[in-house]
Amino acid sequence: MATIAPVRPSPIAGAWYEGNPKALAYIVDQYLDQAELPELPGDVVAVIAPHAGHKYSGPVAGYAFATVRAQSYDLVAVLSPMHQPYYEPLLTTAHAAYATPLGEVPVDKDLLADLDARLRLVLGNGLTPVAYDQEHSLEIELPFLQRALAGEFKLLPVMVRSQSASVSQKLGLALAETLSGKNALVVASTDLSHFYTQKEAVALDTEMLRRVESFSPENVFSAEKEEQGFACGLGALTAVLWAAKALGADSVKVLRHATSGDVTGDFSSVVGYGAAVILKQKPE
């Protein structure tokens, strides 16, 4: 049986984002610096960020991660889709850490085991560990976390293949139980509509983000079913909405929307990107 390396090597650094550490730090800091945030009425429980290459979605992702800049968390749970050809509904890494050019991010194996046990109770199956996966949508968020957050943190990575509302809800509630009482941030990684014209994409994404901002994971699922709006990370996004609700969050604020056309100048077939923050009202 082949031995699994303790650290997952990055399959996308130098392609999906800058591979040179100093250049990467500078570019990510620029995205964070350029975000113009409104006043946020509460504490950040979770953020929603896109996951295309930094060149395309970085300016939007910067808005999401600027909301937690200089904050400290012991743990960050990142939920993303799984674009690769695995067939299990929920997956995680078999490695003990993720590597990016900015350093290693350790995985909290104890909390992964806790979440896995909770999922097995409610779903009958838990998190399938995979090694050397090529998935970009989870890793792409890590340099933002490494630059935005103060201090080190551990990672709880979950990749969602399931597109079932029931699975997403149970994942979200189980995740909330695992994170209860902990100094944790939750990240939903998702892009929005794919390969529509700019005009069509803006209409679809506006409706999807309206439903996200209404803080209704059920309505977010309905948008996709009714073809009123799309999110490639639908299962991860809605699980985070359910988790944040269970953790006491009470509002969602959409911060930014753009498309790949805004970067490339080609508006004939674009991908939509949105950034949002999920907040818990501060006690009086």
Q: How many CB atoms lie within 10 A of CB 198?
A: 17
- Report the amino acid identity of residue 101: P
pLDDT tens, 90-126? Answer: 999 999 999 999 999 999 999 999 999 999 999 999 9
- Tell me what pLDDT residue 191 has: 98
List Cα–Cα distances, 172 to 112, 185, 241, 243, in angstroms: 14, 13, 7, 4
**What's the whole-number average pLDDT of the chain?**
97
In the structure, what pLDDT confidence band is assigned to residue 3 with cuts at 50, 70 and 90? confident
- Residues facing residue 184 across a β-bridge: 75
Cα distance between residue 55 and residue 115, in whole Å: 34
Please report which confidence band the pLDDT of residue 201 belongs to, taking 50, 70 and 90 as the band edges: very high
Bridge partners for 154 per DSSP = 75
219-239 pLDDT tens trace: 999 999 999 999 999 999 999
Q: Answer positive or negative: Cα dihedral of 160, 163, 277, 246.
A: negative
Q: How confident is the model at residue 172 (pLDDT cuts 50, 70, 90)?
A: very high
Q: Is the pLDDT of residue 284 over 70?
A: no
Distance CA 151, CA 146 (A): 9
* Cβ partners under 8 Å of residue 181, min gap 6: none
Contact between residue 91 and residue 127 where contact means Cβ atoms under 8 Å apart: yes
- Mapping DSSP to helix (H, G, I), strand (E, B) and coil, where does residue 242 land? helix
- Could you give the C-alpha distances from 276 to 104, 106, 108, 197, 252, in angstroms and in order? 26, 26, 25, 23, 7
Q: Specify the pLDDT at position 112.
A: 98
Q: For 138-151, what is each residue's pLDDT tens digit?
A: 999 999 999 999 99
Task: Look up residue 83 and give its two tokens.
Answer: 């674009």
List the beta bridge partners of residue 280: 43
pLDDT tens for 66-99 read: 999 999 999 999 999 999 999 999 999 999 999 9
**Is pLDDT above 60 for 1?**
no
What amino acid occupies position 77?
A
pLDDT band at 282 (very low <50, low <70, confident <90, very high): confident
Residue 229 CA to residue 141 CA, distance in Å, equals: 23
Residue at 65: amino acid letter: F
Give the Cβ contact number of residue 271 at 10 Å: 21
Domains of the chain: 9-35+43-280 (3.40.830.10)
What is the reported pTM?
0.97
DSSP code of residue 190: -
